[in-house]
Amino acid sequence: MHVFLIIVALVALFGAGGFFAARARALALARQGSTRLNSRPVHHASFVAIVTVVPAALVMAVWMIASPLLIGAEIRKDFPESVRLEPVSQQSLTFNTVTSVAYGLRQLSPEARAQVSADTDQLRQVLARNGIPLAANPPAFVLQSAERMNALSAKSSYAMAAIVLAVSLVSLALAYRAVRPAFKARNSVERVVLATLLIASSIAIITTVGIVLSMLSETLRFFSQVSPIDFFFGTVWDPRFAAAGEAGSAGQFGLIPLLAGTIYISLVAMAVAVPIGLYAAIYMSEYASSRLRAIAKPLLEVLAGIPTIVYGFFALVTVGPLLRDLSAELNNLLTGNYRNFIEAQSVLTAGIVMGIMLIPFVSSLSDDIINAVPDSLRKGSLGLGATQSETIKRVVMPAALPGIVGALLLTASRAIGETMIVVLAAGVAANLQLNPFEPMTTVTVKIVNQLTGDLEFNTPQTLVAFALGLTLFVITLCLNVYALYVVRKYREQYQ
């Protein structure tokens, strides 16, 4: 790590030095005044700095990725015959032990290291005292391998230092010599900047590819253990967590109950959010005075800025108990029996609270779309003697309908992907039922459930989360793409 920091500092220093030297040289050339500089001094300076730093940084990056792999291969080759005959997972376990012993040895003082090398039995205690627990006292070859690994990585990092610094210095010298009046430094610098901008904007693509690839590979691993038919059409969700290390405990991973819960809760949420949000948007854009709009609109949008964990907590401690107690009172009035028929965690609780969260999405999206309807339509309708509400119902809304449908699809995709409210308010039981007063669970809840905890990604119990995530991703992606398409197409009609 030390070497790494020193190299970075030195290369940065070279870059800065190159920058100022080139600037001074360019200024001097300009002052001579015999020929005009093609580029400004700052471009020459930036050119030299870039050429000094970038190739060196690339070499270093490649080296740092490649050398641990090469060293690892070298170390594995030296494992005794008995280890090399073991299965791959066992071998990598041994290799991890070597890595952590090597790390531990580097933390020790030279005397302690010599002492440990002489007496292998002490190794475990000494390392444990330095915060590196080992499961068992490692065999002697592990210590040898670890020492060899340390030696190799030390050699590698010195070699890297020499090569990176050499690359940096050579390119500095070459670039400095290029500082001449005729040199088009600006064009070169701008090409580099443009390349940087392009790389930055491809991060979005890399992220998407990352999402798809990472989830796809884990999902395929899941499907190699559980049949896709059982997953997509199964009606029972019972993952049955295995005890640690115990393999082959098959659970049932039926997607249907989770999907049903997700859709049911989203429907309840939309039933709350759509009328309120839509009426609010209509009133705000067609009737409200500018003063009311200036106050009510930002206040409603505060709802959109509140983190969903807060809504979840609100559902858990306020709305859920309220509904439960209300139902008990109601039951008492009707039958004289204080039994609540609404559970505190239920489809209704989660749906209502999620609906509150979605109100501002519906209202601000539809507000935009209603405002985009041209005024001539309204004027025409009013001129024919229609009242304002008739104009809105018969002219404005039909004209805005496709856009509003798009907005509602976007809102629905949000409802389907929402996590924190349902984690706290919907329950964890994967029921397949129709009663909105009972708890149900959703895809997102199960993703969280399967993955919180310190688990390895090799059992279907954890891998199923990726299959669920991919399903969720695909569903919301389709909704989003379709919604964006509808909204955009509709907008163009009036432009």
Tell which positions 336-355 bind another protein, by CB under 8 A: none
3 state DSSP class of 252 = strand
Q: CA angle at residue 349 from 344 to 350, to 5 degrees?
A: 120
Q: What is the sign, positive or negative, of the torsion defined by CA atoms of 326, 327, 328, 333?
A: positive
Using the rule CB under 8 A, which residue among 13, 66, 166, 310 binds another protein?
310
Q: What is the maximal distance between C-alpha atoms in the chain?
A: 105
Q: Considering only 131-139, 250-258, 371-379, 385-393, which stretch makes contact with another protein by CB under 8 A?
A: 385-393
Using the rule CB under 8 A, which residue among 85, 114, 166, 484 binds another protein?
484
Phi, psi of 359 (to 5 degrees): -50, -50
Counting every residue written for the chain, the total comes to: 495
Residue 93 binds another protein, judged by CB under 8 A: no
The set of residues, in sequence order, having a beta carbon less than 8 Å from that of 263 and lying 6+ positions away, is 416
Q: CA angle at residue 252 from 251 to 257, to 5 degrees?
A: 140
Residue 326 binds another protein, judged by CB under 8 A: no
Residue 69 binds another protein, judged by CB under 8 A: no
- Please tell me the count of residues contacting another protein according to CB under 8 A: 87
Give the number of other CB atoms < 10 A from CB of residue 122: 14
Residue 316 binds another protein, judged by CB under 8 A: yes
Q: What is the contact mask toward another protein in residues 392 to 421, using x (rule: CB under 8 A)?
A: xx----------------x--xx-xxxxx-
Residue 96 binds another protein, judged by CB under 8 A: no
Using the rule CB under 8 A, which residue among 114, 203, 271, 434 binds another protein?
203
Quote the tokens at residue 417.
């992907």
Residue 158 binds another protein, judged by CB under 8 A: no
Tell me how far CA of residue 384 lies from CA of 378, 379, 387, in angstroms.
10, 9, 9
CB closer to another protein, 91 vs 480: 480
According to DSSP, the residues that pair with 216 across neighbouring strands are none
Residue 224 binds another protein, judged by CB under 8 A: no
Name the pairing type of β-strands 252-253 and 237-238: antiparallel
Using the rule CB under 8 A, which residue among 38, 107, 225, 476 binds another protein?
476
CB closer to another protein, 372 vs 451: 451
Q: What is the contact mask toward another protein in residues 278 to 307, using x (rule: CB under 8 A)?
A: xxx-xxx--x--------x-xxx-xx-xxx
Using the rule CB under 8 A, which residue among 21, 211, 267, 377 binds another protein?
211
- Least distance (Å) between residue 480 CB and another protein: 4
d(CA 196, CA 193): 5
